[in-house]
C-alpha cells in the first residue's frame, strides 16, 4: 500500500508477476516513499532488474503526478477556483522542499584573483621559503649542480635550446606572497578545459527534475537494464540517458587509438584547451566589473558544430532508451561527440543510467555535473559495494614512473631556471625533493631481504610493507610540505603538461624517431604522482601507504611501486546518503548485511534503514544443495591452504569428478580458489590418468586467464553440451554426454556468466576460496576493521604490534588473522562466503531450471541443530540454505541423492 492506504499497482510489468516479484516491488516502492537506505535482495534469475524498473519508475511517475497536482491545486487556490484541494501537508517533507522549475543559477565563472604587471615580492618571506627548500634538498640528496647548469645555459646532447617558449610556465605566486595564483600577460583565460564545450551544448536552462540514478558494475549489466526497460511503457513516457567513459564513447579515431583510458582522457582535455578564436561577448563579473570573453571552439572535429550537437540531443530524445553502443552509432552518423552529447541531456533526464565509478567517485560526479540532492540512487550488484567504493580512491605509481617524472623535472628546471619566477622555481624544486624521497624507498637496504641473489616465489613478497600516512611522511622528511598549496599549484599552473611536453620534444629530437615516441607515457606518470600526492591529504587513519620494492631477478631489478590503499568508505558513502532522498542497494546476494552496514553506514538510525529479502521463483525440488565432506574412498575433504596441495587430496577430488560425470547430465562447472591451484590440479590429473577417465564421459574446458578469451571458451562449451546431449538423447548407449568447465572463483565466469539449463546442471565448489593472507592490502583492511570496535588505545596497540611484520609473508598474514577475535575475522570469512554465493548462484536462471550444488569441503558440513549463527552454512542464501543437506554423509549417499534427483527431472521433462 502507498502512504494513503491504497494498493500499489505495477501495471507496467510486461508479464504476470510472480508473488515474490510483487513483494519485491512493493518493498522497493515503500522504501522510496520512506527515504533513507534500503537493502533489497532478490536471487539471481528472479527477474530482479525488471522488478526494479517497474517499481522505481512507477514511484517516479507517481511523484511527478503528485507535484503536478500540488502545483495545479496551488494555482487554482490562488485564482479562487478550488477550495477543497489537498493540502501540501499531505506530502512528505522532502517533496514539499523540492522546488519545481526553480531558477537555476548560472555556473559561477572560474575566475581567480589575477593581477597583471609587476608584483612586489616579500623578500623576507621568499628567503625563508627558499631556506626551507634548501634544507629539504640537502636532507634528501639535493639537486646537484642544477642552478650552475641552468646559469651557464649549456647545450646538452647537441639539442638547440631555442623555440621552447610554449613550454614556459606562467609566473606563479601563491597566496600570501604578493598575489594569488597565476599572473597572465593580458587577458582572461578559463581554467576549465570543458567550460566552453558545456556552454556550447546548453542553449537554454533545463527544468530541474526529480531523477533516479541507476548504476551497476559492468557495461553489459547496464545494457541488460536498458533491454529490460524497453519492455515497459516507461520507455516512451520518461526521458532516459546513459553515461559512460570517454573510452567507450569516443569516436575521434586519433584519440581512440591511444587505447588507455587515462591517455584518452588526457588527450580529450588537451584538445579542448587548444582552441581557435571565435566570437566574443561581454561577461558581467559582478561588482561593476566586466570582461570580454572569447567564445572559442575546441579543436576536436567532433565538437566544432554546436548545431549538430543539438541534432544529437533531438535524435536521442526521439529514439527512447539507448545504450552506449546506440549513442555511439548516432554520434558517428551525425559526426558529433556522443560523450558530451549524452552529458548535455542529463539536466532534463528522468532516469540516468551509469557505471559505479561515475556515481560513487566524487570527482566523477562533479565532472559530469550530477546532482544527487533530493534524488534517488539505485546501486545494483551491491554485494561488494564497500570494497568497490574504497578501491576507487586507491592510487598507485611505479618506481619507473617516478624515475621518468624526476628526470623530466630536472631537465625542465635546468632549461628554464633563469626564466622561471621564484614561485615556479620553489614549487618545481619541492616536486623534485618529493620524487627523490620516494625513489629512495626503492633502494632502502634495510628492508631489502632479497639481498644480491635472485628472488624466488618465497622471498618476493617479503619486499612489501605498509605505513600510516604520517609515519610515511615523517620517514621521508617531507612532512613539512604544504600539500594543499602544492596541489593547487599543479592544477593552476598546468606544470605537468609543460614539463611532459618539453620532455617529449627533447626525447623526439634525441632519439631521431620523427616524433614517433610513446605519447602520453610521461603525462600518465605525472598523473600517477598527482594521485599519490592527493591521497596524502587524507586523514592519517583513513588509509595506508603500501611500499612494494623492486624484485631483484636473474634478469635484473624489476617492478616496485607505491600505492595508497583506502581503508574506510564510511565518509565517502555518507556524502551520497546525506544528499540523496533515498539510496537503494540491490543484489542477488547481499548477505551478510551487517558487514555492509558497519563499513558504509554504521550510524544509520533504524527508522532510516530497511532490509528485504525474497525467496526464489524455483521450487525446492528443483535444487539439490549438498555439503560433500568425504570422497569416494572415504577420504575427508580438507582444502585448507596447508592441505589442499597434497597428492592424496587432489586424487580424491579427481575420483569425485569421475563419479559425477557418470551421473550428472549435460554441463558441470567446477570452481577452484585460484588459477594457480586449478592449474596444479589439472596437471596432476593429467599425469595420473584421471583426466583421461573424465574425458571418456565429458569434454573438459578451462577458464582462460585473459578475459578477452572467455567468450570463445564459453561458446565452445555451450555448443559441445548441446551437440553431445542431442546425440545422447538419440542414442542411449553414447558414452560422451556433455562437458566440464574448470573455472576460478573471482574470475569473469564466477561473476557475470549465467549457466542456465544444460550449461550448469551441477555446480561444484572446491573448498573455501579465502583470499590469500599474503595480500598486504587485505591484511591492512582486516586490521583496520578489527579495530573498529576497540578503544583508541587498543587500536594503537593492534596497529603497532603488527605494522613491522605485515610484509606480505603468508605466515605473518595467518598470524594476524589468528589474533583477530571479532570483525576482522568475520570480514575475512565474509569475503570468502560472498565469493561462494556469487559462484553457486550462476546455475538457476528461471522457474523451470534445475541444478545440483555441491560444496566440497568438510568445513561446510554441520548438524543444523547444533550449528552456531556464525557458521558458514548460515551465511548461504536463504533459498539454498533452506534445502541444504549439511549433515555429514558418506559419498555413497551423495551419489544416490544425485542419481534420484536427475532421474526425477528426466522423467518430468519427458512428461512421464
pLDDT in tens, 466-493: 899 999 999 999 999 999 999 999 988 8
**Dihedral Cα 676, 681, 683, 688, nearest 10 deg:** 170
C-alpha 77/C-alpha 673 separation (Å) is 68
69-78: per-residue pLDDT in tens? 887 776 666 5
Segment 228-241 mean pLDDT: 95
Q: Is 198 left (phi over 0), alpha (psi -120 to 50) or beta?
A: alpha
Q: Are strands 36-41 and 181-183 parallel, antiparallel or unpaired?
A: unpaired
Q: What is the pLDDT of residue 374?
A: 94
Range with the largest mean pLDDT of 180-184, 270-274, 533-537: 533-537
Rounded to whole angstroms, the Cα distance separating 99 from 402 reads 50
- What pLDDT was estimated at residue 413? 94
Return the minimum-mean-pLDDT range out of 220-229, 766-775, 802-811.
802-811
Average pLDDT on 458-473 reads 75
The DSSP result for 775-811, as a single string, is -HHHHHHHHHHHGGGS-HHHHHHHHHHHHTT-SS-HH
Rg (C-alpha) for the chain, rounded Å, is 31
Q: What is the mean pLDDT of residues 50-54?
A: 96
Is residue 109's pLDDT more than 80? no
Residue 818 has pLDDT above 50, yes or no: yes
H-helix or E-strand spanning residue 623: strand 623-628
Q: Of 705, 717, 772, which Cα lies nearest the Cα of 741?
A: 717
Which of 118-122, 362-366, 623-627, 883-887 comes out lowest in average pLDDT? 118-122
* Contact predicate 810/775, CB 8 Å: no
- Locus of grid cell 593581477: 115
Q: Are 242 and 324 in contact (CB under 8 A)?
A: yes
User: Residue range 765-794: average pLDDT?
Assistant: 78
Q: Contact 226/354 with Cβ under 8 angstroms?
A: no
User: What integer pLDDT is reported at residue 877 of this predicted model?
Assistant: 84
On whether the CB atoms of residues 418 and 150 are closer than 8 A, the answer is yes
Q: Rounded CA gap, 341 and 331, in Å?
A: 8
526 upstream amide cis, omega within 30 of 0: no
Taking the C-alpha atoms of residue 98 and residue 77, their distance in angstroms, rounded to an integer, is: 20
Looking at residue 899, its pLDDT comes to 95
Helix (H) or strand (E) holding 57: helix 48-78
pLDDT digits 0-9 by tens, 408-419 = 999 999 999 999
**CB 234, CB 12: distance < 8 Å:** yes
Q: What is the mean pLDDT of residues 486-509?
A: 87
- The confidence score (pLDDT) of residue 790 equals 40
Tallying the residues shown for the chain, one arrives at 912
Question: Does residue 809 carry a pLDDT above 60?
Answer: yes
Q: Give the pLDDT of residue 167.
A: 83
- Cα separation values, 30 from 238, 436, 610, Å: 21, 57, 10
Query: Which helix (H) or strand (E) covers residue 673, if one does?
Result: none
Best-predicted range by mean pLDDT (153-157, 304-308, 374-378): 374-378
Residue 698 CA neighbour count, 13 Å, CB half: 30
Pick the more confident residue, 810 or 28: 28
CB 479 within 8 A of CB 564: no
Q: Which helix (H) or strand (E) holds 91?
A: none
**Residue 255 φ/ψ, nearest 5 degrees:** -75, -45
CB atoms within 10 A of CB 109: 17
Q: Is it the case that residue 61 has pLDDT exceeding 90? A: yes
Give me the percent of the chain exceeding a pLDDT of 90: 44
Instruction: Categorize the per-residue pLDDT at 448 as very low, low, confident or very high, splitting at 50, 70 and 90.
Output: very low
Strand pairing class (582-587; 376-379): parallel
Per-residue model confidence as pLDDT tens digits over 571-607: 999 999 999 999 999 998 887 788 888 889 988 998 9
Q: Which residue has the higher pLDDT, 837 or 160?
A: 837
State residue 126's pLDDT score: 52
Residue 758 scores a pLDDT above 70: yes
Q: Which of 721-725, 778-782, 837-841, 908-912 has the lowest mean pLDDT?
A: 908-912
How far is the C-alpha of 779 from the C-alpha of 798, rounded, in Å? 12
Q: Which string of b and e fits 226-244 if b means at least 16 CB within 10 Å? A: bebbbebebbeebbbbbbb
**pLDDT bracket for residue 727 (50, 70, 90):** low
Average pLDDT over residues 703-713: 90
The reported pTM is: 0.79
For range 245-249, the mean pLDDT: 91
Cβ pair 399, 560 in contact under 8 A: yes
Q: Which residue's C-alpha cell is 519508475? A: 57
Instruction: Tell me the C-alpha to C-alpha distance, in Å, between residue 610 and each of 27, 201, 213, 385, 675.
Output: 9, 40, 19, 17, 39
Would the pLDDT of 902 be above 60? yes
* Residues 601 and 577 sit within 8 Å (Cβ to Cβ): yes
Instruction: Please give the average per-residue pLDDT across 733-742, as a whole number.
Output: 78
Residue 244 or 260, more confident: 244
Is pLDDT at 874 greater than 60 in this prediction? yes
For the record, the C-alpha cell of 744 comes out as 576460478
Question: What's the pLDDT at 275?
Answer: 54
- What's the mean pLDDT in 650-662? 96
For residue 283, what are the contacts with CB-CB under 8 A and spacing of at least 6? 109, 290, 291, 292, 293
- The predicted structure's pLDDT at residue 614: 86
What average pLDDT does the chain have?
80
For 62-103, how does the pLDDT look when each residue is reduced to its tens digit (9 = 90+)? 999 998 888 777 666 655 544 444 444 444 444 345 444 444
pLDDT tens digits, residue range 878-891? 888 888 998 888 99
Q: For residues 300 and 271, is the Cβ–Cβ distance under 8 A? A: yes
C-alpha cell at 207: 527544468
Residue 155 reports pLDDT greater than 90: no
Which three cell numbers mark 736? Answer: 560422451
pLDDT confidence of residue 507 = 78
Residue 266: the pLDDT is 79
Outline where DSSP puts E strands in 478-588.
Answer: 543-548, 551-553, 556-558, 561-566, 582-587
Q: How far is the C-alpha of 507 from the C-alpha of 511, rounded, in Å?
A: 6
Q: Which DSSP string do the residues of 198-258 spell out, in sequence order?
A: HHHH-SSPPPP---EEEEESSHHHHHHHHHHHTTSTHHHHS-EEE---HHHH---HHHHTT
pLDDT tier for residue 160 given thresholds of 50, 70 and 90: very low
Amino acid at each position: 500500500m502507498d502512504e494513503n492506504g491504497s494498493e500499489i499497482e505495477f501495471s507496467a510489468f510486461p508479464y504476470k508477476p510472480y508473488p515474490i516479484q510483487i513483494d519485491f516491488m512493493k518493498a522497493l516502492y515503500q522504501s522510496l516513499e520512506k527515504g533513507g537506505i534500503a537493502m533489497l535482495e532478490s536471487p539471481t534469475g528472479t527477474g530482479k532488474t525488471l522488478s526494479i524498473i517497474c517499481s522505481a519508475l512507477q514511484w517516479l511517475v507517481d511523484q511527478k503526478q503528485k507535484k503536478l497536482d500540488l502545483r495545479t491545486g496551488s494555482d487554482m487556490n490562488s485564482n479562487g477556483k478550488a477550495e477543497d484541494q489537498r493540502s501540501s501537508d499531505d506530502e512528505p517533507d522532502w517533496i514539499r522542499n523540492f522546488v519545481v522549475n526553480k531558477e537555476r543559477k548560472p555556473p559561477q565563472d572560474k575566475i581567480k584573483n589575477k593581477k597583471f604587471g609587476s608584483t612586489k615580492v616579500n623578500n623576507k618571506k621568499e628567503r625563508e621559503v627558499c631556506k626551507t627548500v634548501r634544507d629539504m634538498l640537502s636532507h634528501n640528496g639535493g639537486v646537484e649542480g642544477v642552478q650552475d647548469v641552468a646559469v651557464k645555459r649549456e647545450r646538452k646532447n647537441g639539442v638547440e635550446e631555442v623555440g621552447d617558449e610554449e613550454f614556459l610556465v606562467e609566473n606563479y605566486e601563491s597566496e600570501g606572497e604578493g598575489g594569488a595564483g597565476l599572473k597572465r600577460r593580458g587577458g582572461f583565460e578559463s581554467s576549465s578545459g570543458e567550460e566552453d564545450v558545456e556552454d556550447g551544448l546548453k542553449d537554454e536552462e533545463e527544468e530541474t527534475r526529480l531523477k533516479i540514478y541507476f548504476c551497476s558494475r559492468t557495461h553489459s549489466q547496464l545494457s541488460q537494464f536498458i533491454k529490460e526497460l524497453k519492455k515497459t511503457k516507461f520507455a516512451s513516457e520518461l526521458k532516459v540517458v546513459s553515461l559512460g567513459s570517454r573510452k567507450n564513447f569516443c569516436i575521434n579515431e586519433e584519440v581512440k587509438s591511444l587505447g588507455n583510458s587515462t591517455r584518452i582522457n588526457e588527450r580529450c582535455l588537451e584538445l579542448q584547451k587548444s582552441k581557435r578564436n571565435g566570437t566574443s561577448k561581454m561577461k558581467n563579473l559582478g561588482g561593476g566589473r566586466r570582461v570580454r570573453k572569447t567564445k572559442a571552439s575546441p579543436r576536436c572535429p567532433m565538437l566544432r558544430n554546436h548545431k549538430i550537437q543539438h541534432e544529437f540531443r533531438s535524435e536521442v530524445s526521439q529514439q527512447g532508451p539507448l545504450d552506449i553502443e546506440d549513442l555511439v552509432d548516432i554520434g558517428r552518423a551525425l559526426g558529433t561527440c556522443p560523450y558530451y552529447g549524452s552529458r548535455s541531456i542529463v539536466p532534463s533526464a528522468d532516469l540516468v543510467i551509469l557505471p559505479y565509478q561515475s556515481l560513487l567517485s566524487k570527482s566523477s560526479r562533479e565532472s559530469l555535473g550530477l546532482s544527487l540532492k533530493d534524488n534517488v540512487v539505485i546501486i545494483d550488484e551491491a554485494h561488494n559495494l564497500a570494497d568497490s567504493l574504497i578501491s576507487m580512491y586507491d592510487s598507485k605509481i611505479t618506481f619507473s614512473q617516478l624515475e621518468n617524472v624526476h628526470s623530466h623535472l630536472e631537465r625542465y628546471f635546468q632549461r628554464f631556471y633563469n626564466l622561471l619566477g621564484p614561485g615556479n622555481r620553489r614549487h618545481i624544486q619541492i616536486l623534485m625533493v618529493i620524487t627523490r624521497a620516494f625513489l629512495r624507498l626503492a633502494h632502502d637496504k634495510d628492508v631489502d631481504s632479497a639481498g644480491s641473489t635472485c628472488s624466488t616465489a618465497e622471498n618476493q613478497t617479503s619486499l612489501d610493507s605498509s605505513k600510516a600516512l604520517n609515519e610515511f611522511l615523517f620517514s621521508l622528511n617531507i612532512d613539512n610540505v604544504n600539500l594543499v598549496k602544492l596541489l593547487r599549484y599543479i592544477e593552476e599552473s598546468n606544470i605537468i603538461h609543460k614539463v611532459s611536453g618539453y620532455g617529449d620534444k627533447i626525447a623526439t629530437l634525441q632519439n631521431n624517431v620523427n616524433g614517433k615516441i610513446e605519447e602520453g607515457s610521461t603525462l600518465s606518470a605525472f598523473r600517477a604522482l598527482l594521485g599519490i600526492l592527493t591521497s596524502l591529504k587524507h586523514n592519517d587513519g583513513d588509509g595506508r601507504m603500501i611500499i612494494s620494492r623492486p624484485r631483484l631477478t636473474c634478469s635484473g631489478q624489476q617492478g616496485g611501486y607505491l600505492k595508497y590503499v583506502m581503508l574506510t568508505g564510511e565518509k565517502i558513502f555518507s556524502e551520497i546518503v546525506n544528499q540523496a532522498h533515498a539510496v537503494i542497494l540491490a543484489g542477488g546476494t547481499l548477505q551478510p548485511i551487517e558487514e555492509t552496514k558497519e563499513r558504509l553506514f554504521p550510524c544509520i538510525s533504524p527508522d532510516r534503514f530497511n532490509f528485504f529479502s525474497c525467496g526464489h521463483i524455483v521450487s525446492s525440488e528443483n535444487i539439490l544443495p549438498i555439503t560433500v565432506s568425504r570422497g569416494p574412498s572415504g577420504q575427508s575433504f580438507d582444502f585448507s591452504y596447508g592441505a589442499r596441495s597434497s597428492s592424496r587430496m587432489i586424487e580424491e577430488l579427481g575420483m569425485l569428478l569421475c563419479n559425477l560425470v557418470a551421473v550428472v547430465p549435460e554441463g558441470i562447472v567446477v570452481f577452484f580458489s585460484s588459477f594457480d591451484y586449478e592449474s596444479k590440479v589439472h596437471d596432476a590429473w593429467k599425469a595420473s590418468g584421471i583426466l583421461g577417465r573424465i574425458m571418456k564421459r565429458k569434454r573438459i574446458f578451462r577458464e582462460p586467464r585473459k578475459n578477452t578469451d572467455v567468450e570463445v571458451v564459453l561458446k565452445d562449451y555451450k555448443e559441445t553440451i548441446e551437440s553431445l546431449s542431442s546425440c545422447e538423447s538419440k542414442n542411449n548407449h553414447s558414452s560422451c554426454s556433455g562437458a566440464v568447465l574448470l573455472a576460478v572463483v573471482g574470475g569473469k565466469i564466477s561473476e557475470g556468466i549465467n549457466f542456465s539449463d544444460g550449461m550448469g546442471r551441477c555446480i561444484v565448489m572446491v573448498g573455501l576460496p579465502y583470499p590469500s593472507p599474503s595480500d598486504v592490502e587485505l591484511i591492512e583492511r582486516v586490521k583496520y576493521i578489527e579495530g573498529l570496535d576497540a578503544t583508541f588505545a587498543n587500536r594503537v596497540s593492534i596497529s603497532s604490534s603488527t605494522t613491522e611484520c605485515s610484509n606480505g609473508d603468508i605466515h605473518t598474514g595467518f598470524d594476524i588473522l589468528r589474533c583477530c577475535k571479532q570483525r576482522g575475522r568475520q570480514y575475512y570469512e565474509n569475503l570468502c562466503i560472498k565469493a561462494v554465493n556469487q559462484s553457486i548462484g550462476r546455475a538457476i536462471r528461471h522457474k523451470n531450471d534445475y541444478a545440483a550444488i555441491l560444496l566440497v569441503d568438510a568445513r561446510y558440513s554441520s548438524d543444523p541443530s547444533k550449528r552456531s549463527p556464525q557458521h558458514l552454512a548460515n551465511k548461504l542464501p536463504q533459498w539454498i540454505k533452506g534445502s541444504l543437506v549439511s549433515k555429514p554423509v558418506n559419498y555413497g549417499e551423495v551419489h544416490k541423492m544425485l542419481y534420484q534427483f536427475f532421474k526425477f527431472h528426466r522423467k518430468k521433462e519427458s512428461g512421464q
